[in-house]
A and B are shown apart, each in its own frame.
Chain A
């Protein structure tokens, strides 16, 4: 009996042309998101492959041009580290369009090179990438609204409601059944898209997949809970539609956009500009100073290099030059730490407000799992710092002793790939959306029970 009622409800639901329009919209946009998300990431992968061969070629050319002068060679030669995209990056492009995914640096001062951006079209950055996460965050809620806003009000407006009420005392169950049918259809669509994504993007069915799936389903359930509360107010269809769209506009546009402005106002980062100035002055001023001003702090920084004799009498030596470059980085250390602190406060602020705004929460969680958020980029920057330091310490002795380039192992150097180690945990994201959903569902249940 019960089963057949559900079948009838499904039939009723699918008889509506709006249902099909919603389903087709989500599938089409989902596929478009997958396609554009994948092409974007594929292009980055191609560039990384190309960069690997280019680096070899350029190193060979530099050896031909500057091979006689080891200091000059390392002045020109670049070493690259690539932030290779995770399979999930195609699902959520995140900040990968804004932040560089390939950083090529010479052995000179790092702070002057680390923040160089890729070439990008700022209008494309502004309008945003089209990927599957966009469809889940923005479009699914809209279809949920379209499916459920007139659930109860339509019955009333068409005059069916009094009839129903007269025939059964289980009116709540009827509403509940209708919501459940819509929930199942939406969840099925989400599963379908995720399944296609898994095949198309070659996503492994692992813990990350499970965590993301749960996060997305919870987010969709949250929107059903919102719709449920509005429905339970017993207002007209037009009121429900307007109210739900208004809530969507608030949660997906106005509130995050306002918070964003607040964030920029609360935590401005003038230190970034100060950092450039510190690095530039810290290095350039040394040209006009006694060599000891450079070399004393340099040897303090690297006591192990003291054993290589410094040519004090020469007007210019690469030894001094690289020492001065190091001073630029050392001068920028303070501002660099300040930037890191500011960014950490920004992250804290965002995580706190996200506890109350599921749309932000989902965006943060998805980007984090896909390794496309700001934190991943900062970790990548740290990896570049480490790599740069290793290269410096490896080649400094050869430069400082004016060794022949061919005695070094420079030919073995190739493009390196950065692979993040730890898998992020998103328990907080899951928990906050669950809590909000449960509270709303309970409110809706209470309101509906009271008024039925």
Chain B
């Protein structure tokens, strides 16, 4: 029984390689994959090194600052750079469209700036060649070319009847053809994966991070499932069509619709249904909330007036200058607390809106296996939207910590009596600066990633189940003999 499947698979595999055009396509694809891997690594390394270089520079400059007022340090702030995950060489995801550096300072939340896209002219909009792009877009095209006539050609030449008479069932035929096509794909995909693993390991000095290894394993698994789904669809389309030509046309039309048109449309609709605020509207809403809760800049603010009164009462003094700690620092700490809480709330809402925009694309995965794989792949290589949001959140937490640390230093170590107009400014020792740790971004663990990608993974699984059921049941619906008209 399984012998027949293997025979058919072997036969399909051999025929594919005997075809010169297929061979040429395979070699072309293999070469472009190797090139994509190599250039992807080069890019990853040079960009990552750039960021690490500036990260070290920023740290050194921070530590080298002389004695000064802590609030000056809070304004000097910190620069954080978005590090790339080591697997991002495989799938660039949103990398080029997300900013790289963010300036973290007191009182103010800045945007992540300098994305590659902001330096790009129109060419970037055609895409970037990466291993993932070749595997997601071009390998399916290759599979279509390999398999569009897998059944229909047998039908056209009349061998289908003969095959089915010779104790070969439809099920065996479909499985055999699918496996044959998939093995052709794997013959280029597997060496490439080995190459990738070797390259990756050698470039990370053979110190393989277990989490990344699991991510890579999961990635290989998902791509294999994707190839299986595409191969099975190809064979099924070929089985249901009367002629090879019709099968090819259908497959090519599907490729164009699902991979070129649909992603843009779903995202455009998502953006339309869930509009996100512009920066000025966002900033205005935050400012409105802050002035409602307490605006430290407003001299008539009720919230700060009551803080002042209660402090004066508690310490039994009649002037803030007589308080035993730095009053300015205390007020700034309160202001930072209020404003950053409000900001974070708004930022969370904004990200929720973006998530809703993306939700349609994720849901479309149930209609379009390309989109479900794309989402899973970006998440596994940490080049997705959620990783970017996570970076923003970690940077904001760091910014808040830095600002409050400097406020604390000011409250504790700076005299509450302001020096005269011409006196030397108040300062604390530079030894305090080292208390503020460096900013280090931490990538989420695989478990967290998988949990947040449940929907995309589920859609991939749905597709897998669907095509298996289709292969199993096709015999009932499909015609063996072409229509005679």
Contacts and interface: CB of A to CB of B under 8 A. Distances in A.
Interface stretch (B169-177, B280-288, B399-407): B280-288
Interface stretch (B125-133, B315-323, B325-333): B125-133
Contact of B72 (A118, A268, A287): A287
A94 interface: yes
A372 B282 CA distance: 24
B114 A272 contact: yes
A400 B12 CA distance: 84
Contacts of A268: 46-47, 50
Given A50-B280, A51-B280, A117 B99 contact: yes
Given A47-B278, A102-B280, A127-B267, A287 B68 contact: yes
SS of B interface (majority): helix
Nearest to B49: A270
A239 B360 CA distance: 37
Nearest to A312: B422
A82 to B, nearest CB: 10
Contacts of A115: 113-114, 118
A29 B256 CA distance: 13
Given A241-B249, A268-B46, A119 B277 contact: yes
Contacts of B248: 238, 241-242
B141 A316 contact: no
A373 B276 contact: no
Given A118-B279, A242-B145, A280-B103, A315 B425 contact: yes
Interface stretch (B190-198, B350-358, B473-481): B350-358
Interface in B209-245: 244-245
A288 B66 contact: yes
B299 interface: yes
B108 to A, nearest CB: 11
Given A121-B358, A127-B361, A272-B119, A280 B76 contact: yes
A399 to B, nearest CB: 17
Interface stretch (B53-61, B179-187, B438-446, B464-472): B53-61
A13 to B, nearest CB: 17
Contacts of B54: 270, 273-274, 277
Nearest to B421: A314
B43 interface: yes
A244 B46 CA distance: 37
B388 interface: yes
Interface residues of A, number: 95
B297 A117 contact: no
A374 interface: yes
A126 B138 CA distance: 18
A117 B261 CA distance: 28
Most central of B68, B122, B255 by chain A CB within 10 Å: B122
A117 B115 contact: yes
B95 to A, nearest CB: 9
A116 interface: yes
Interface in A113-165: 115-130, 134, 138-139, 142, 146, 150
B141 A116 contact: no
A121 B354 contact: yes
Contacts of A139: 260-261
A265 B297 contact: no
A367 B122 contact: yes
B126 A241 contact: no
A1 interface: no
B127 A256 contact: yes
Most central of B43, B100, B123, B252 by chain A CB within 10 Å: B123
B126 A359 contact: yes
Interface stretch (A166-174, A203-211, A247-255, A383-391): A247-255
A119 B256 CA distance: 31
B121 A98 contact: no
Contact of B278 (A118, A127, A238, A343): A118
A123 B358 contact: yes
Given A265-B43, A273-B114, A315 B421 contact: yes
Interface in A341-377: 342-343, 346-347, 350, 354, 359-360, 363-364, 367, 373-375
A253 B103 contact: no
B94 interface: yes
A119 B385 contact: no
A128 B111 contact: no
Nearest to A134: B264
Contacts of A431: none
B39 A261 contact: yes
B311 interface: no
A129 B127 contact: no
Contacts of A31: none
Given A95-B120, A254-B138, A315-B423, A119 B98 contact: no
A146 B253 CA distance: 9
B305 interface: no
Contacts of B111: 116-119
Contact of B264 (A127, A281, A287, A375): A127
Contact of B265 (A95, A130, A239): A130
A318 B100 CA distance: 33
B437 interface: no
Contacts of B384: 123
Given A65-B298, A127-B267, A98 B115 contact: yes
Contact of B123 (A125, A265, A363): A363
Contacts of B297: 65-66, 76
Contacts of A43: 275, 278
Contact of A313 (B46, B252, B260, B422): B422
B178 interface: no
Interface in A219-270: 237-239, 241-242, 245-246, 249, 252-254, 256-265, 268-270
Interface string B162-173: 000000000000
A126 B126 CA distance: 10
Interface in B344-391: 350, 354, 357-358, 361, 384-385, 388
B46 A265 contact: yes
Interface string B76-113: 11010100000000000110111111010000001111
A139 B261 CA distance: 9
A443 interface: no
Interface in A270-329: 270, 272-274, 276-277, 280-281, 284, 287-288, 313-316
Interface string A89-107: 0000011001110101000
Nearest to B353: A121
Most central of A116, A126, A134, A316 by chain B CB within 10 Å: A126
Contacts of A66: 297
A123 B267 CA distance: 8
A257 B133 contact: yes
Query: 6 shortest A-B CB distances, which residue pairs?
Result: A256-B126, A125-B97, A122-B94, A257-B129, A47-B278, A363-B122
Given A259-B123, A260-B123, A315-B424, 4 more contacts: A122-B115, A237-B245, A242-B248, A350-B121
12 contacts: A36-B272, A112-B103, A123-B361, A123-B385, A124-B357, A124-B358, A254-B32, A254-B138, A260-B128, A315-B422, A350-B122, A374-B120
Interface of A: 18, 29, 32, 36, 39, 43, 47, 50-51, 54, 65-66, 76, 94-95, 98-100, 102, 104, 112, 115-130, 134, 138-139, 142, 146, 150, 237-239, 241-242, 245-246, 249, 252-254, 256-265, 268-270, 272-274, 276-277, 280-281, 284, 287-288, 313-316, 342-343, 346-347, 350, 354, 359-360, 363-364, 367, 373-375
